[in-house]
Structures are given as C-alpha cells and as structure tokens.
Amino acid sequence: MKTSGKPKSLKQLNTRVVLDLVRARGAISISEISESIHLSKTTVKKVLDMLAAAGIVLSAGKGESTDEGGKKPELYRFNVKYGYSISLHVTPEDLIAVTTDLRGDITYYHKAKLEGDSCLERIIAALVETIRSFLAMKAATGEKLIGLAVVLPGLVDSAKGVSIYSPHFPNWGRDVPFIELLRAGLGAGWNAPIFVDNANRYQAVAEREKGIAAGRMNFVVIDALNEGLGAGMVLGGELIQGAQSISGEIGHMTLDPYDGFPCICGHKGCFEAMASARRILVLAREAAARFPDSLLAPALADASVRLDDVCIAAAQGDPLSLYLIDDVARWFLIGIANIIMVNDPELIVIQGAYVKAGSCFRDKLSEGIRHIGLPDVEKKIHIEYSRLGEERGVLGAAALMISDFFSQNLFA
Ligand SMILES: [Zn+2]
C-alpha cells in the first residue's frame, strides 16, 4: 500500500487528486468530481473503485437527481475511520493523550498528572503505557495506526527526533534521543512512524488547521503558561524550524537585561520571566496593601495565586489584577514589537493563561502596537485570542501526521 512520496504515474497522480477532493468534501458524486478536476467520469469511477476496495473511500448512498426523472447519482465519501493517530503532549505538569480520526478530530481524550519526579525514564514509561492502552482499545476496530507524535516543551530537533534541551526538565540532560528511547520502550514489532516536536510549533499548526489562523500564510502563535512562554511561527506558509531549532524561543528574548526578573534559564529579564506567575506574585505582594479588597487577597495570603486567577479576576474588573495585567501588557508589547520587526506577521494569536483576561489585555496590546516601533507606519496586524484549549498541542501534531500520511501513501 505504501508507495513513497511523489506520484510517479498518471494513475497515481489521478488517485491523489481524486482522494484530496473527496477528503476535502462531504458526500460527492462522480460527475461533481469529474467537473471539479477535469477528469473523465470513466477515469474517476476507476479511481473511486480502487479507493473503495482499499477502504479509504466509502459509498454514501444516492444523491438527488439533477434532472427530472434522471437517475440518482452514486455518492462517495472519505472514510475518516480508515486509520487513526495517537498524539501525546508532555506539559510541565500533565500528560495529555488523544487519538484522532483522519480528519484530525479527537476521538478519545485522556489527561493525567505526571506523577512524582519528572525523570526521563518515568515519562517514557508513562508514554509507553498510554500508547499500549490506546492500541488495545483500538485493536478490534480494524482502524490502522498511521502514526504517533509526541509534543514536548523546550528545544526539539524534529528531523533527528531529539530533545535538545528542556528548561522545564533540566534533569533530562542534553540531546536526548527521544524517538529512539520511545521506540525501544515500545519494543520490536512497532512499525508506525514516530514524530516529535516542540509544543509551540505544533500549536501553531493547530491554529492553522483547527483554529483562528485558517488560511493565513504569515502568523505567530504565542503561548504563555504559568512559567514558560514560546512561539510557533508560520512565515510564507512554512512552519519555521531554524538552523538549530531555536526559532520561536521568544520566552528567552531579553527584554530587561539589567533590572529584569530572574529567568529559569539563568538570565535576567527574559520575556517569559517578565510575564511569569512568579514575578506577578512578587508584584501582587508589593501592591497588595493598596488593594485590600482585591479578589486575589485570600489567595495571596496563602501564596496560592496562579496566573489563571489573576487573569480571571482582571476580566471581572478587580483593580489589583488590572494593575498586574497592565504591567505585563507593557512587557508583552516590547516582546511583540520585536517579533513584528523581525517577522512581519499579519496575525498574532495569543494562547494560554492570558486569554482568560479577556478584552482588558488584548485591547492594550492592539492599541499599543500602533505606537511602538516605526510609529508612523500603519501596522495591519491583528491580535487575537486562541479559541483552542489545552488540546492545541495534540491537534497540531495530529494534523501534521495526517498530512504526512497522505503525502506518503498513494493508494495506487
Ligand atoms: Zn530565559
């Protein structure tokens, strides 16, 4: 079945074009396909018969007749359950694991806390256990596993399958051959492709495939966690990796090298340190006496304030939270200005905690970018909040896997 890469014959090319159309549409008839891609009905019928025999295309009953008393046309549709993908996202705190169908829609979702210390062996073992449980769950369905992807924090060389360095998991060490270790854990007999990449890159793909960046060629997706901020960039339609996979590590872009807040990377004033929950907690404590009635007061008293709490309270108009969000927005603006001057995107998507702050944060950014860097030049850049939740990493990973599967398999 797997005939690698580019179509080598007219038959393979026709098959690719017909399948792409059937995948993109709902139920479709031979005539509609023939008109759309300028192939004869006989050729389209032959290709559909072959795809139906392979199981990737299914009969979808009869459509409406176009002329009075005419024969009702046979309809065909893409079999989204021909195969499935497995994607696993290792976040600094949790493991999010899903299966998807071949449209990249989640069919099963599982989330678990990463137990105990975050040593590499335990995380690999947790991944292997989850993958095995998914395989067992799918065993009786007849669906083929098309691939497995792991979404990781930190620097990842996706081509080599290596975790270069993860500030969240410094105990992993450097240049961890992640795919090799996972493959060894899965044992002999594993034959589906395995992919790995950095969360921000996968999350940018998710915005293009399932989110707010649909159809965009130049956009930057910024995700901010309690501790950790990074970006995935699509420029000229291409997902940017960079020479050493550092591209998108905007969290460690220096905003205030002299007086800035200490970063987990060892430097001062990095973007992610200035927007981190740790710094906001310090600011909140310093300012707390001026806002005794703040919604944050109880959480501040027992030091349990999280970034989410501050953002939610700001959206409710809490004065202390608004003061904190205002401070963070100023640093965000400097970071975004630098990104805009280097990459010139048409859209910046904000994911993560700050989405919960609502319009008070986004409006400050949208207004602010008009005045920063080349103030006389009109900047036609939209700043939007992501509508995707914590599934954004696995959605992007699944989308890339599915795209790879259909670029590798010609079914002819
Ligand atoms: Zn840093």
Res 117: pLDDT = 67
Q: How far does residue 223's CA lie from ligand 1's centre (Å)?
A: 15
Res 87: pLDDT = 98
Residues recorded for the chain:
412
Q: How far does residue 35's CA lie from ligand 1's centre (Å)?
A: 55
Q: How far does residue 59's CA lie from ligand 1's centre (Å)?
A: 55
Q: How far does residue 108's CA lie from ligand 1's centre (Å)?
A: 36
Res 1: pLDDT = 42
Q: E-strand spans in 2-152?
A: 28-29, 57-62, 74-78, 83-90, 94-100, 106-113, 144-152
Q: How far does residue 269's CA lie from ligand 1's centre (Å)?
A: 7
CA-closest candidate to residue 152, choices 223, 89, 231: 89
* CA angle (360, 366, 371) in 5-degree steps: 120
CA distance 216 to 278: 34
Q: How far does residue 230's CA lie from ligand 1's centre (Å)?
A: 11
Q: How far does residue 156's CA lie from ligand 1's centre (Å)?
A: 17
Q: How far does residue 49's CA lie from ligand 1's centre (Å)?
A: 56
Across the strands, what pairs with 156? 163
The 10 Å Cβ neighbour count of residue 406 is: 17
Q: How far does residue 274's CA lie from ligand 1's centre (Å)?
A: 10
Q: How far does residue 335's CA lie from ligand 1's centre (Å)?
A: 13
Crossing angle of helices 30-37 and 10-24, in 10° steps, is 110
CA-closest candidate to residue 103, choices 84, 89, 118: 84
Q: How far does residue 262's CA lie from ligand 1's centre (Å)?
A: 8
CA distance 266 to 243: 23
Q: How far does residue 261's CA lie from ligand 1's centre (Å)?
A: 10
Q: How far does residue 342's CA lie from ligand 1's centre (Å)?
A: 19
Give the DSSP letter string of 133-148.
Answer: HHHHHHTTT-PEEEEE
Q: How far does residue 129's CA lie from ligand 1's centre (Å)?
A: 33
Q: Are 227 and 92 in contact (CB under 8 A)?
A: yes
Q: How far does residue 247's CA lie from ligand 1's centre (Å)?
A: 14
pLDDT digits (tens, 9 = 90+) for 244-290: 999 999 999 999 999 999 998 899 999 999 999 889 999 999 999 99
Query: Which tokens hold the place of 278?
Result: 């740790």
Res 303: pLDDT = 78
Q: How far does residue 253's CA lie from ligand 1's centre (Å)?
A: 7
Backbone dihedral region of 248: left (phi > 0), alpha (psi from -120 to 50 degrees) or beta?
Answer: left
Q: What is the DSSP letter of 4?
A: -
Residues in Cβ contact with 358 at an 8 Å cutoff, skipping those fewer than 6 apart: 314, 315
57-62 and 74-78 beta bridge pairing? antiparallel
Q: Are 85 and 146 in contact (CB under 8 A)?
A: yes
Q: How far does residue 280's CA lie from ligand 1's centre (Å)?
A: 16
In sign, the C-alpha dihedral spanning 352, 126, 158, 410 is negative
Q: How far does residue 275's CA lie from ligand 1's centre (Å)?
A: 11
Q: How far does residue 312's CA lie from ligand 1's centre (Å)?
A: 26
- List the chain residues with pLDDT less than 70: 1-5, 67-69, 116-117
